[in-house]
A = this chain, B = another copy of it.
Amino acid sequence: MFRIESEDGNARTGKLKLAHGTIKTPFFMPVATKAVAKFIDSGDFKQSKTQCIISNSLILHLTAGSDAIKKLGGIHKFMNWGKGIFTDSGGFQMYSEQMLIETKAHGVLFKHPKNGKKFFCSPEGSMDIQQKIGSDVAMCLDDMPKFGAKKERILDSMKKTYEWAKRCKAHHEKINRKKQLLFGICQGGLYPELRKKSAEMISSIGFDGLAFGGLALGEPISKMFSAVKVGMGSMPKEKPKYLMGVGFPSQIIEAVSMGVDCFDSTYPTMTARHNYLLTMNGVVEIDKNRYAEDGNPVEKECDCYICRNFSRAYIHHVSKTKEPAGYRLRTLHNLMFMARLMERIRTAIKENELNKLKKELIKIK
């Protein structure tokens, strides 16, 4: 299911085999919360060389409905996407004041952000929903404390996350009819001893992959990487590792060099909406007047739809005038950038040149 093919220090490149295709690792997943990303559909993902996306099972359940998606043949058919799909459990929605009512011992009480209807999500319920949706990789329901929570709360979340993880695993084994993989999530905040303990506990359950939750929430980067490092030390090497919520290119390279294989973030799509275009030479703020008459493509070396078809001047024009088509065009470029970045990282690992690449890409955020 996961095969490491080359190593460069702790970094590794290989293949993760899913029910829908095989993914080259390390890889980055754009966020398509509702089986669609902002301005971007499955055809757009395809042309941006995306290998795998992540949707949100809780939000999908509350909008399209997991029963409807199952009836329509599962999420891949629903959104017409033949490649990899992870689903998040909804743990992250505990971060939403609009949605969280209360974390209980046996699950989470949410309210529907639109109609206010209450909805209780148990570990078993989350597994059922993700199985109906039919993603390639389901994520455990974890208990995610708020950023800056006290140690006591972190300890509590760590324990709850472990209990829920065991229940997720047991229930998933019973219901899994679709070669769906299940990843466990460790918590433990920024406390090295708690992060270590949580990583050990979650690793002991025997998941197909292991994720870091509760990070990339605005904490100092050095603290995030300390937590990743101590966690990695307690996880079996042969499992794929997923650092949730990380999307800055510099942080991706750093995490890859520590052995992380998988990432997701709204960074490339969100930053595109703010007129930032990611390039190997740094960010291009395309709405700045200096691009108004620039006939060059955004990035000469890029093969994305916008770099093949439009000048900086045109992208400047549709950006400056806030045309909705511009939002899509910028997003297409940034998605392709992430695909190109990950490809370069995989090649560098194969060639034992990850450190060299890290220095070369120092100008990238």
Q: How far apart are the CA atoms of A320 and B63 in the complex, in Å?
A: 9
A204 to B317, CA, bound (A): 39
Q: Which one of A68-76, A95-103, A140-148 is at the interface?
A: A68-76
Say which residue of B43, B72, B305 sits within 8 Å of A309 (CB atoms): B43
Residue numbers in B under 8 Å from A321 (CB-CB): 34, 63
Given contacts A72-B313, A295-B73, A309-B43, contact A38 B323 (CB under 8 A): yes
Give A317 to B68 CA distance when docked, in angstroms. 11
In the complex, the answer to whether B78 meets A325 with C-beta atoms within 8 Å is no
The answer to whether A80 and B310 touch (CB under 8 A), given A68-B292, A317-B64, is: yes
Contacts known (A41-B329, A68-B292); A35 close to B317, Cβ less than 8 A: yes
A22-62, CB < 8 A from B: 34-44
Q: A63-B320, A68-B313 are in contact. Are A36 and B293 (CB under 8 A)?
A: no
CB-nearest residue of chain B relative to A318?
A: B36
Task: Given A34-B321, A39-B328, output 15 extra A-B contacts at Cβ < 8 Å.
Answer: A35-B314, A35-B317, A36-B317, A37-B325, A38-B325, A41-B318, A41-B325, A41-B329, A63-B321, A68-B292, A72-B293, A72-B311, A72-B313, A79-B314, A80-B309
A153 CB to closest chain B CB, in angstroms?
A: 33
Which residues of A from 69 to 94 have beta carbons under 8 Å from B? Answer: 71-73, 78-80
B-side contacts of A34, CB under 8 Å: 317-318, 321, 323
Instruction: Give 21 A-B contacts (CB < 8 Å), ordered by A residue.
Output: A35-B314, A36-B318, A36-B325, A38-B323, A38-B324, A38-B325, A40-B325, A41-B328, A44-B325, A63-B317, A64-B292, A64-B313, A64-B317, A65-B292, A68-B313, A72-B314, A78-B317, A79-B314, A324-B324, A324-B327, A328-B328
Please tell me if A189 contacts chain B, counting CB pairs below 8 Å.
no
- Which residues of B lie under 8 Å from residue A71 when comparing CB positions? 293
Bound complex: CA of A89 vs CA of B190, how far in Å?
63
Chain B nearest CB from A58 CB (Å) reads 14
Contact B324 A39 (CB under 8 A): yes
- For residue A294, which residue of chain B has the nearest CB? B72
Q: How far is the CB of A70 from chain B (nearest CB, A)?
A: 10
Q: Does A259 contact B (CB under 8 A)?
A: no
Q: How far is the CB of A104 from chain B (nearest CB, A)?
A: 28
- Is the pair B42, A309 in contact by a Cβ cutoff of 8 Å? yes
Cα separation A310 to B77 with both chains bound (whole Å): 8
Q: Which residues of B contact A293 (CB under 8 A)?
A: 68, 71-72
- A314 touching B43 by the CB < 8 A rule? no
Closest Cβ neighbor of A59 among chain B residues: B321
Interface residues in A325-362 by Cβ distance below 8 A to B read 325-329
Distance in angstroms between the alpha carbons of A227 and B34 in the assembled complex = 50
Given A71-B293, A321-B34, A324-B327, A314 and B80 touching (CB < 8 A)?
yes
CA distance A166 to B293 in the complex (A): 34
